[in-house]
Amino acid sequence: MSAVSPYMAKKIWRCFFFSLAFVIVVPVLCIVLGKTLHPAEFAYIDLDSNDDVPRNKKIYLHADLTSADLKQGKMVLDWSIIWDTCDSRSTNCTSVNIYFDANLLQHSDTNSSEPSDNNRPTVPTFIWNVTADDQDYYLSNSPKFQTELSVFPQHKYGVIHQVRHTYSSNVYYPFDRYFAGVLAFAEDASTNESVPLVLDSTAGLVEGLKISADVASASALASASLPELIDIEVTLERGTLIKIYCIVITVTFWLITIMICLVMIMTVGFGFQQRNEIVVVPVGTVFAFTQLRSTMPGAPDGFGDILDFMGVLPCLVLLSISAVTMVGIYIFTDPAQNSREKLTWSVLVQTLRSRGRATLENIEIENTPMESYTTFPSSRFKNTAGDP
């Protein structure tokens, strides 16, 4: 067994420790990023409810985010009445009508026989009877109901409402953003007086989406002389990890495409030798790219988003040209034949170095100062006629 040279032993140790660090650091880093950068829960806890104001009745609701589908343009919330300050055992508590803005809901949640309008809602979404809940708890209907919210393009006041400003289109995937709104209030069923309605808390998590909510506080409503109601603005966008994944995949498309195009230029354009298994790579890559693109979570069906125009489609065009050219070369010659010159990394480095030295020598020659010589001897200028 031949002894390992010191240089080779040092190289083996470096390779071992680098590989060991890679298999430890990279999986741990990916797990940590997946844990910390995944979409946060749709969570809200009311800390600003105006409980100091004396009220005979106040209703607290909890909302669970069940699902959100940007392609279908809807978001589903499950509502639960968790507390009513009216005690039916000591007070005559009347029923309460809970209304939702019908234009913010899907059509399945509204009365389709009525035309859309911007009037005050007259058909309650849910009728709450605290007496039935307290005195007939087991036989009364559960105090739960569901609403399907419509997802709209995001808008900004004072700004041109164009898609290129709001990114509210799947063309801008994965940077698209959308908006959903909730406006709910309550009234006494017998007197039509306003009843305070409070969003106590929310929960829920949807895969692939980052959902944030801006809830109007009780103090803000009081300053605007409005009764306590539920006013929520929900923003929906792709998760951070999805954006990073799509960008990495697009950069990978370009890197692979550029390398294959360089191989095509060297093999077909300049006639350098190339292995046969490399020549057929562009053909398989064309089909692999379409499969890899389909792994982008929530990507629009087909092609047409901004990453397609900036990455997949131009790469597919270049790969198709490279595939046709690399396969067509076999009609005229064999790119793997030994008569062709090989372009290796060492040959390229040697050529660049020799070219650089030649350039430096030319620069030194051009910058060398020329010595001045007298072409005529000094005796030529002497007075040969003699003194007068």
**Residue pLDDT, tens place only, 85-108:** 888 776 788 899 999 999 999 865
Rounded Cα distance between 62 and 13, Å, is 60
Q: Is residue 373 situated within a structural domain? A: no
In the predicted structure, residue 148 carries a pLDDT above the cut 90: yes
Q: Is residue 74 situated within a structural domain? A: yes
Q: Is residue 13 situated within a structural domain? A: no
- Look at residue 69 and give its three-state secondary structure: strand
Q: How many domains does the chain have?
A: 2
Pair (221, 317) in one structural domain? no
Calculate the average pLDDT of the chain.
83
In the predicted structure, residue 356 carries a pLDDT above the cut 90: no
Pair (52, 177) in one structural domain? yes
Alpha helices for the chain (secondary structure H): 6-36, 130-135, 163-166, 218-223, 240-264, 276-279, 281-293, 306-307, 313-328, 345-367
The more confident residue out of 160 and 271 is 271
Pair (182, 274) in one structural domain? no
Pair (49, 197) in one structural domain? yes
Of the residues 238, 265, 285, the one at which a domain ends: 238
- Residue range(s) defining the domain that contains residue 318: 239-361
Under 8 Å between Cβ of 134 and 164: no
pLDDT for the residue numbered 42: 84
In the predicted structure, residue 54 carries a pLDDT above the cut 50: no
Say which amino acid occupies 359: T
The residue-averaged pLDDT of 238-242 equals: 90
Q: Which residues partner with 45 through β-bridges? A: 201
The more confident residue out of 370 and 340 is 340
User: pLDDT band at residue 359, thresholds of 50, 70 and 90?
Assistant: low
Residue with tokens 């409810």: 49
pLDDT for the residue numbered 370: 53
Say which amino acid occupies 366: E
Pair (322, 351) in one structural domain? yes
Pair (177, 230) in one structural domain? yes
Under 8 Å between Cβ of 202 and 43: yes
In the predicted structure, residue 128 carries a pLDDT above the cut 80: yes
Under 8 Å between Cβ of 183 and 100: yes
Q: Is residue 346 situated within a structural domain? A: yes
Rounded Cα distance between 233 and 235, Å, is 7
pLDDT for the residue numbered 75: 93
Rounded Cα distance between 282 and 14, Å, is 34
